[in-house]
Homo-oligomer: A and B are copies of this chain.
Amino acid sequence: MRSGAHTLQRPAAPHLSFGDLMQASGRKGKRVRIAKGQEIITAGNRHDKIYANHDGWLFRYKLLHSGRRQILDFILPGELFGFQAVLPSGALYSVATMTDAVLTAFPADAIDQMFDRSSRLSKALFRCAMREAAILGERLTNAGRRSAYERISHLMLELFVRLSSAGLVQGKSFHMPLTQELIGDALGLTTIHVNRTLRALREDALITIEGKCVTIGDFDALSALSDFEHSYLDGTELRRDRDAVRPVENRSGRPTRLA
């Protein structure tokens, strides 16, 4: 079912759909391909686009003067990003691709349009921002008050749930293009300690990672030990409609660089 028309009947939790954004932007969204390792948004700069991620993984991050990096969040297929970059003070953190990715870039004023034209979409945008805050709150709790073992468990469960709402899990497994370095930078750990902790989780038959494939051995045990409670992820992701997340037909094409 398409969204955008019969939405006022929906009681609560209106999702934001790709079509909504397309419409609000006057169909000005432009689809682009980005190679892995490209920076889309740079901390401190103002940007005039917001993005929908169709395919690929990205991450938001900050660099400290010491060279350390903190990853704030991962951007999975079906999610929006770039709202904060249009603030007058400039982007608070950078965004980069970790795999080849397919995005749609919308002019930033599409956001203004949405606020001006539809209270339903305004609420959906607000929910988007609230969800981002909720995820960051969980990450903070991770870094502040959980052991490496608990942190990794929690992150894997979160990815599992977020990916399943995008239809990207198979049984108890999912594809995860994260290196141990990226996991460490997201959780405030070193690569080496991530490696040791993953071994422990594997030996305990809780989480197994083979190549880029993660398998959840015991969801309930992991939830219990890491205080995972999935309600903070509920129902506010970008609504998947026909255009939002679809497999890209022409995988051989050269990725585009952003202007």
Contact = CB atoms under 8 A, between A and B. Distances in A.
A43 to B, nearest CB: 9
Given A62-B141, A64-B227, A72-B140, A122 B126 contact: yes
A179 to B, nearest CB: 17
A251 interface: no
Contact of A140 (B64, B140, B234): B140
Nearest to A88: B12
- A interface secondary structure, majority: helix
Given A116-B119, A122-B122, A126-B122, A231 B89 contact: yes
Nearest to A69: B145
Residue from A88, A130, A235 whose CB has the most chain B CB atoms within 10 Å: A130
A92 B62 contact: no
Nearest to A234: B89
Contact of A137 (B72, B83, B130, B145): B72
Contacts of A87: 127, 130
B145 A188 contact: yes
Contact of A68 (B88, B134, B140, B145): B145
List the 7 closest pairs (A to B, CB-CB), nearest first.
A144-B188, A129-B129, A136-B136, A143-B143, A122-B122, A89-B231, A143-B144
